[in-house]
Amino acid sequence: MGIVHHSRYLPIMEEARVAYLRDIGHPYQSVRDEGLDFTVLEVFVQYRQPIRFDEIVDVHLSLAQVERASFQMAYLLIVAGQVRATGVTAHGCITTDGRPTRLPAWLRELRR
């Protein structure tokens, strides 16, 4: 069909989220080194227009909401100036053994 399968939008958003963490000085490995993980609790994607194979997707994201032990990221996927999809991911902070815990201070402070 020449279009990107709907399931492939999630890895695009994940890649942008990991790049965001790296850009703010907290690469995901450093989160793991702190003994933490950010597990995905919920995903919402609104498909507006299909992304076609070999198109370059610009992803804009923002930290949408921060609670004590969870946060949300909002995404805007754009191709050639056109919005192709929007999305939100909700994440819970857990220890590496799977127990819920508070977000690190640096992440909570991003929304202040």
What pLDDT shows up at residue 84?
98
Average pLDDT in the chain? 96
Label residue 112 by pLDDT band (50, 70, 90). low
Q: Is-contact 9 77, C-beta < 8 A?
A: yes
Joined together, the tokens standing for residue 46 give 């609104």
Torsions phi, psi for 107 (to 5 deg): -80, -40
Torsions phi, psi for 73 (to 5 deg): -120, 140
Q: Write out pLDDT tens, residues 41-95.
A: 999 999 999 999 999 999 999 999 999 999 999 999 999 999 999 999 999 999 9
- The domains located in the chain, with CATH, are 6-111 (3.10.129.10)
